[in-house]
Chain A
Amino acid sequence: MTALPLLDISNLTVEFATRRGKVQAVKSIDIQVGKGETVAIVGESGSGKSVTSYAVVRILDRAGKVAEGSISFSGVDLVAADEAQMRDLRGREISMIFQNPRAALNPIRKVGRQIEDVLLQHVQATSATAKEKAIEALEKVRIARPEERYDAYPFELSGGMCQRVVIALALACQPQLLIADEPTTGLDVTTQKAVMDLIVELTRERGMSTILITHDLGLAAAYCDRVVVMEKGKVVETAEAAAIFHAPQHPYTRKLMQATPRLGMALADLLPEGTPKPPAQARAPATLAGAAPLMQVENLVKEYPRPAGGALLAKLRGKAEPEKPAFRAVDGISFSVARGETLGLVGESGCGKSTTSMMITRLLDPTSGRIVFDGQDIGAMPARTFAASPFRRRIQMVFQDPTDSLNPRFTAQRAILDPILRMGTVEGRAALRERCEELARLVGLPVELLDRFPHQLSGGQKARVGIARAIALEPDLVILDEPTAALDVSVQAVVLNLLDELKQRLGMSYIFVSHDLNVVRLLCDRVVVMRSGRIVEEGTAEEVLGAPKAEYTKELLTAIPHPPA
């Protein structure tokens, strides 16, 4: 960097007034962003990375304020600037992209109109040229048939498309600085790749500077020039992207690096150095030759009827419309799970993997097909009354969002004991408490936390409560629905190891539902890849992820961000 940096954050401290006094979310940090540079701010939740960006555009909520330091944007002091000045800068000079593109768009306004609004607001177009310019903006973010999409409402577009519209909005006024706050979290890998490629290309084209805020070190390293690593409000390391990946200096960066699943590493490698590694157990031979599989799914189908538009009107007129075919979320899939095996169910959103797991856990009735569990067709038992079935206790599930899956009014102990109270044989206060403590120890949850409510626990602790609940009755099959998707990488590393260890110890089988192929590679014996309700590829983890045969699997694998070599 030779010239003056475009954005110069120096000695910035941001404080929040809370009921336990002032809390410093960001502590004396220095970050410079040069013209045309792409800088990533990486950190886990609570590291202060988002707060930093909010301070730059001055959208901190009421309790937060800049306590110290300065932010200067091409010579303008952003801390001292008044609200009118800031309004002018936001959007025209500094733009932001947020995590949830759907929430960032007005749901009842056509996307083209929304782009026009921004253009008119910042005098980039007149009402005569606005439509033309808006279509041009849509074209620039590679939206196919922009003239048609101009008239689309946000709900008519996919998540990736919406994010493109948001990018078009952010770039409409040719800002000098783009702040992207987790722009691809929640998007599929292939969409993530498309969106990130687009952002990088557009910024390069216009000589714009970009700040990418992310928790994904791989993504940061793949797309940025420099990486700033934050921990607990402090910048711990700033380095070139390639350097940070190959020779991380700070212990925290190293820990973060280590916890990020990558090619060619084992599950235990994710844990930080110096922790006792779980004894390397030889992977149990997954399928015992000749043994009957634990579960067999045959020709499973789930159909949802399409809403009949105007059917009533047609009926009144006396001419019935031809019935539309029902939507098939799951379209005739068959696979089996062996005893003691971990089967990965992989695919992007909308592929039917969640519907499949809901049917297997008997929360949802299949339209047709069989689910044979231990020799019996449990698919024929209605989901409504399955709670009373003796099979209920043998199939359990760990949910995606540890917060959403715990009743806010139950303590950790009450949550863990719920299945035992309903279906278990343990009785009496003391015995229940004992069993609960046993389970807590098993999942590594400190026993003193058992009396806490979910909101008093951290994400990792909540995940452990969810796992303890799922294994409380020693089930034969546990469905893991993206159990680590909501967790930080270092917590994910620990939870994945825990799950693997529990499986070996208790002899369970897992169905691991995920979109993260790197994680699937580490945990699964066999993998089933799904797309649009069908299985496109099936085989051992090494086969499918090492040498994929299906075109779609290849596409998924190449979309994973790879750090620069």
Chain B
Amino acid sequence: MNDMSKPPATPALRFEAPPSTSLWSHARHIVSENPVTGFAFGLFALIVLAALFGPLVAPYDPLASNTNSALQGPSAAHWFGTDQLGRDIFSRVLVATRLDFAIAVFSVALVFLLGGLAGVMAGFFGGWVDKLVGRVADTIMAFPLFVLAMGIVAALGNSVTNIVIATAIINFPLYARVARAEANVRREAGFVQAARLSGNSDWRLLLTQIVPNIMPIMAVQMSLTMGYAILNAAGLSFIGLGVRPPTPEWGIMVAEGASFIVSGEWWIAFFPGLALMIAVFCFNLLGDGVRDLVDPQRRN
């Protein structure tokens, strides 16, 4: 072996390659390129702030009833009006953000871990793992998903934890299938073969080569299912499963307010419904922006 440190006589190549950019300036570019994405990120920030600080800044106690001021329309004192028990709807909508957001975040995180991992393993290893994951997903998809979620919550018991679990289970096939397809495509990619030559074991290949590269698509998937998860949780509460009154929750509030619409007190159902709609809308818009943000190819 000769001297290794000597530079080769072969001339070095000098090519202009794009300079690297920071995540922040990249984010700024994405937003400036597509104002809708900026709007979605703004809404998302608002939702997160409401979830974090809602209970602190709420003007009234969301549970305190005051029969003297029941069923009042929106006013300066009660921005969103009051309900049949005289509770301030603005405070209740604000405080409910934390619960709804938490249910969505935890269920999506759970399904991402379980469904994503199962799918990636199915796509990468193939064989009986693939068959098993595929059949489990098929079984779940054989039911109407909302009915399945109802059944799970009814069977496991009426609690927030079980709503999270039920929402995660009904989203399992979606995550498992996307992850499986993406992992399957990359299994034979050159860089995976190269990593195999570098002495990486199968599990290490899976976790260091495959998983990071399917994150962009999974991030989009997560953003989209967030909206669906919120809707699902609210839907379960609406029909009386999961969260129980008087806990402020968008779904229950809509359910409670529904009977008053006929008599003209529209605000009771309207404002929690609006919050729900904005949240779902925001997560759906966010999907594209998230993909642009996490895809390294776009970062130049």
**Contact partners of B14 in chain A: CB under 8 A:** 446
| Cα separation A418 to B191 with both chains bound (whole Å) | 11
Contact of A405 with B191 at beta-carbon distance under 8 Å, contacts A396-B197, A456-B18, A456-B20 already known:
yes
Contact of A276 with B9 at beta-carbon distance under 8 Å, contacts A455-B296, A460-B15 already known:
yes
| Cα separation A395 to B14 with both chains bound (whole Å) | 30
Q: Is A404 an interface residue, CB under 8 A from the partner?
A: yes
Q: Is the CB of B13 within 8 A of A494?
A: yes
Q: Is the CB of A384 within 8 A of B213?
A: no
Pick from B17, B198, B296: contact of A419, CB under 8 Å: B198
| Cα separation A395 to B194 with both chains bound (whole Å) | 12
CB proximity to A under 8 Å, residues B3-17: 4-17
| Cα separation A444 to B213 with both chains bound (whole Å) | 28
Q: Is the CB of B8 within 8 A of A501?
A: yes
Q: Is the CB of B17 within 8 A of A497?
A: no
CB proximity to A under 8 Å, residues B175-206: 189-191, 193-202, 204
**Contact partners of A19 in chain B: CB under 8 A:** 29, 33
Number of interface residues of A (CB under 8 A): 63
Q: Is B246 an interface residue, CB under 8 A from the partner?
A: no
As a 0/1 sequence over residues 88 to 111 of chain B, the CB contacts with chain A under 8 angstroms (1 = contact) are: 000000000000000000000000
**Contact partners of B190 in chain A: CB under 8 A:** 399-401, 404-406
Q: Is B2 an interface residue, CB under 8 A from the partner?
A: yes
**Contact partners of B195 in chain A: CB under 8 A:** 407, 418
| Cα separation A470 to B300 with both chains bound (whole Å) | 28
Q: Is the CB of B8 within 8 A of A442?
A: yes
The chain B residue sitting closest to A361, CB to CB, is B197
Q: Is the CB of B213 within 8 A of A397?
A: no
Pick from B12, B19, B193, B194: contact of A445, CB under 8 Å: B12
As a 0/1 sequence over residues 44 to 77 of chain B, the CB contacts with chain A under 8 angstroms (1 = contact) are: 0000000000000000000000000000000000
CB proximity to B under 8 Å, residues A445-475: 445-446, 449, 451-453, 455-458, 460-461, 464, 466, 469-470, 474
Q: Is the CB of A494 within 8 A of B17?
A: no
Q: Is the CB of A384 within 8 A of B202?
A: yes
Q: Is A2 an interface residue, CB under 8 A from the partner?
A: no
| Cα separation A451 to B13 with both chains bound (whole Å) | 17
| Cα separation A408 to B11 with both chains bound (whole Å) | 26
Q: Is B1 an interface residue, CB under 8 A from the partner?
A: yes
Q: Is A315 an interface residue, CB under 8 A from the partner?
A: no
CB proximity to A under 8 Å, residues B282-300: 296-297, 299-300
Contact of A444 with B8 at beta-carbon distance under 8 Å, contacts A409-B296, A452-B20, A455-B300 already known:
yes
**Which of A384, A408, A452, A494 is packed against the most chain B CB atoms within 10 Å?**
A408
The chain A residue sitting closest to B17, CB to CB, is A456
**Contact partners of A404 in chain B: CB under 8 A:** 189-191
As a 0/1 sequence over residues 201 to 245 of chain B, the CB contacts with chain A under 8 angstroms (1 = contact) are: 110100011001100000000000000000000000000000000
Q: Is the CB of A408 within 8 A of B213?
A: yes
- Chain B's nearest CB lies how many Å from the CB of A558? 32
Contact of A438 with B5 at beta-carbon distance under 8 Å, contacts A19-B29, A453-B20 already known:
yes
| Cα separation A60 to B75 with both chains bound (whole Å) | 57
- Chain A's nearest CB lies how many Å from the CB of B287? 21
The chain A residue sitting closest to B8, CB to CB, is A444
Pick from A361, A409, A419, A501: contact of B213, CB under 8 Å: A409
| Cα separation A167 to B93 with both chains bound (whole Å) | 66
| Cα separation A138 to B154 with both chains bound (whole Å) | 67
Q: Is the CB of B17 within 8 A of A422?
A: no
| Cα separation A149 to B135 with both chains bound (whole Å) | 41
Pick from A361, A387, A409: contact of B199, CB under 8 Å: A387
Q: Is A363 an interface residue, CB under 8 A from the partner?
A: yes
**Contact partners of A418 in chain B: CB under 8 A:** 194-195, 198, 200
As a 0/1 sequence over residues 277 to 310 of chain A, the CB contacts with chain B under 8 angstroms (1 = contact) are: 1110000000000000000000000000000000
| Cα separation A421 to B204 with both chains bound (whole Å) | 12
**Contact partners of A400 in chain B: CB under 8 A:** 190
**Contact partners of A452 in chain B: CB under 8 A:** 17, 20
Q: Which residues of A contact B (CB under 8 A)?
A: 19, 271, 275-279, 361, 363, 384, 387-388, 392-393, 395-397, 399-401, 404-410, 418-419, 421-423, 438, 441-446, 449, 451-453, 455-458, 460-461, 464, 466, 469-470, 474, 491, 494, 497-498, 501-502, 505-507
Q: Which residues of B contact A (CB under 8 A)?
A: 1-2, 4-20, 29, 33, 189-191, 193-202, 204, 208-209, 212-213, 296-297, 299-300
Knowing that A396-B197, A397-B194, A456-B300 are A-B contacts, what are 6 other residue pairs whose CB atoms are under 8 Å apart, sorted by A's residue number? A363-B196, A384-B202, A404-B189, A407-B212, A451-B20, A506-B2
